[in-house]
Amino acid sequence: MQTIELEKPKIKQAIPVIQPDAIMAPIPIIKSIEKTAAAGEGIDYLGAIPFFLMHLTPLLVFMTGVSPVALIVCFIAMFGRMFGVTGGFHRYFAHRTYKTSRVFQFIMAFLGTSAAQMGPLWWAAHHRHHHRYSDMEEDIHSPITKTFFESHVGWILRKKHYQQGFEKSIPDFERYPELRFLNKYPLIPPTVFAFGIYFLGVTLQKFFPSLHTSGFQMAVWGFFISTVLLYHATFSINSVTHLFGRRRYETKDQSRNSFLIALYTMGEGWHNNHHHYPTAERQGFFWWEIDATHYILKVLSWFGIVWAIREPAPEVYRKGVRPLVHKGSDPFSV
């Protein structure tokens, strides 16, 4: 496997500018990821206890009840952190589809890590591995070569799939110490976020008692429930969009587009589009393909927070107007 040596950026200003390559070159993935993907292991039940417990926390609603403000905060917490995953972990760290400052790079890394889906280097390294081996035996979360359960959540429960030590497989971002810190201590952002949500509830209860909320209620809805919903929204991209939906482009894998999934994943449901041309920032290539992540990044570009957003090549649109290759016979192909 050829190693790509990237030139370190020259810092000429107080806020360094991140200069990713024009096209995402193949990034070396360390052998442990590939070996683990092929070998597989039994579920690490002891290590998965926190994950299982997280899925029991929604039952706490029978103790806390619900309030309109709690539902609103749950919605904001889910989609706010979803943007950290889609716009940060995925479209920036994994694919480098736009440029930004080092400060905003850290903000996106912190926001994405607060979703409790490990750190930015871990997430991006595994995703690059997925694109390299999509729907092949080495793909650790393919529903084509493995089971639906394995692709959706089983793979993350296996120790060698979630273990640390993958920083060197993503050298373009590994050189930043603040990203290595988040990657080494991925529980810090979600913990800070959880306590922040809790104290928000405490504050609202004290100064606005008519809202009928509390710190406990806000933590349950704003952190625990929103995190579980965010988990499975993200996981459905690995599992559902490789089985159900429409195929606009012929690709080497079974990726599909799904309008329904694109709605609740802020545009990630246009998965066949993405696998056909992964270096484009937008995944909804046509105006009717709703892509909330792209809209937010576009607005941020107006203020100079992000720039050099990569667009699909003209031939991508020409190919895209031909009749669809496949239409699933299920609700996900809407």
Looking at residue 229, what is its pLDDT?
97
Question: What is the C-alpha radius of gyration for the chain, rounded to an integer number of angstroms?
Answer: 20
Query: Which tens digits make up the pLDDT trace of 280-332?
Result: 999 999 999 999 999 999 999 999 999 999 999 998 888 876 645 555 544 44
Instruction: DSSP letter for 309, please.
Output: P
- Answer yes or no: is 331 within a domain: no
Number of domains in the chain: 1
Helix, coil or strand: residue 205 = helix
Query: Distance between CA 79 and CA 231 in Å, rounded?
Result: 12
Q: What pTM, to 2 d.p., does this model score?
A: 0.84
Instruction: DSSP letter for 89, please.
Output: I
Query: Distance between CA 223 and CA 220 in Å, rounded?
Result: 6
Query: Which tens digits make up the pLDDT trace of 311-322?
Result: 999 988 888 766
Query: Which stretches in the chain have pLDDT values below 50?
Result: 1-6, 8-40, 323, 329-334
- Answer yes or no: is 205 within a domain: yes
- Answer yes or no: is 250 within a domain: no
Using a pLDDT cut of 70, give the percent of the chain over it: 81
Query: Distance between CA 273 and CA 277 in Å, rounded?
Result: 6
Looking at residue 164, what is its pLDDT?
52
Which of these, 325, 147, 316, 175, lies nearest to 238 by C-alpha position? 147
- Answer yes or no: is 270 within a domain: no
Task: Name 325's Cβ contacts closer than 8 Å, sequence gap at least 6.
Answer: 246, 247, 248, 249, 250
Query: Distance between CA 225 and CA 190 in Å, rounded?
Result: 13
Quick one: which H or E segment has residue 307?
strand 306-307
Looking at residue 163, what is its pLDDT?
66
Which of these, 133, 109, 137, lies nearest to 123 by C-alpha position? 109
- Answer yes or no: is 106 within a domain: yes
- Answer yes or no: is 51 within a domain: yes
Task: Name 309's Cβ contacts closer than 8 Å, sequence gap at least 6.
Answer: 97, 98, 281, 282, 297, 298, 301
- Answer yes or no: is 272 within a domain: no
Domain extent at residue 122: 31-245
Residue type, 101: S
- Answer yes or no: is 318 within a domain: no
